[in-house]
Chain A
Amino acid sequence: MTGDAVWYEAAQVVGITNALNVAEDTLGALGAIDESAAPVETRALFAEIRDFYGSDDVPQGFRFIGHDPLYAADVWAATRHAFTDKRLARRFKEALAFAVSVATRSASGATLHLAQMRRLGVGQSGVMEIVGVTQMFSSYTKIADTLQLEPDMGDIAPEDTSPAPGGPSR
């Protein structure tokens, strides 16, 4: 996991996962869009989402934000981009999203990404590995916060001196 590119990629997954969980866990009062009465663009968007997740269901968060089809389309484009295989495999990205969902107490996110992990071939032992990492680091972080420990391991990894994508070397 050396080099900054994989960390940027992971940050996208963490960020957009949190955004989807926030919507799905809190916007019930907004009500889900009625797909049968939705514009053709929204129905096409939902079909693409179903295909990506290999599921008959569309995550409820997209049904909530689907009231604004252009906004929902952009959120979905960012989501699809973040979760697509690149330097990090989608299988791992779903595990990362599962961990983030568990750590942020998002039952809907944990359910979605656990299902996706399994669909992509992660076994029960693999799931428990991610549960273990998530749980133990939820402990370490609170111990560190309680004692107000200051970071002291930041220099273990070397700095990545490469430029931003497409940018000149320094």
Chain B
Amino acid sequence: MPTVRLRTAAEYPPAAQKLFELSRSWFNHDFAEPPAMSRVMAWDLDFGGPHGRAMKRAMTPGEFTRGEKEMVAAAVSGVNACEY
């Protein structure tokens, strides 16, 4: 069970709604609620904003495809023993 109460998207201010829209577009998936991590990152946009931009920059296709990078991300999450 999460350490914090994850707020629903409706509990976030308009600035955060833009981030949720970006999240929906990034994953190309219509979530009933934005993913928990998106809602965590939207809690403090002064952190979540640059953190998300760095992630997006890293994940954008370049010498490696988006799919390859998702696989690297999964492997990194695995060796970090992160179930999320």
| A residues lining the B interface (CB < 8 Å) | 1, 6-7, 10, 14, 18, 92, 95-96, 99-100, 103-104, 122-123, 125-126, 129-130, 132-153, 156
Contact of A14 among B29, B73, B79, B83 (CB under 8 A): B79
Contact of A137 among B1, B4, B35, B77 (CB under 8 A): B77
Q: Is B37 an interface residue (CB 8 A)?
A: yes
Q: Is B14 an interface residue (CB 8 A)?
A: no
Note all chain B residues with C-beta closer than 8 A to A142. Answer: 80, 82
Provide the bound-state CA to CA distance between A138 and B51, in Å. 12
Interface residues of B in 1-54 (CB under 8 A from A): 1-4, 6, 27, 29, 35-37, 40, 51, 54
Closest Cβ neighbor of A18 among chain B residues: B79
Contact of B62 among A126, A137, A138 (CB under 8 A): A126
Given A6-B71, A14-B75, A95-B64, 15 extra CB contacts under 8 A: A14-B78, A100-B75, A100-B79, A104-B79, A126-B64, A134-B72, A140-B55, A140-B77, A141-B76, A145-B80, A146-B3, A147-B40, A150-B1, A150-B83, A152-B35
CB of B59 to closest CB in A, whole Å: 6
Closest Cβ neighbor of A139 among chain B residues: B51
Note all chain B residues with C-beta closer than 8 A to A132. Answer: 54-55, 57-59
Note all chain A residues with C-beta closer than 8 A to B37. Answer: 140, 143-144, 149
Note all chain B residues with C-beta closer than 8 A to A138. Answer: 76, 80
Note all chain A residues with C-beta closer than 8 A to B71. Answer: 1, 6-7, 10, 96
B67 to A1, Cβ gap below 8 A?
yes
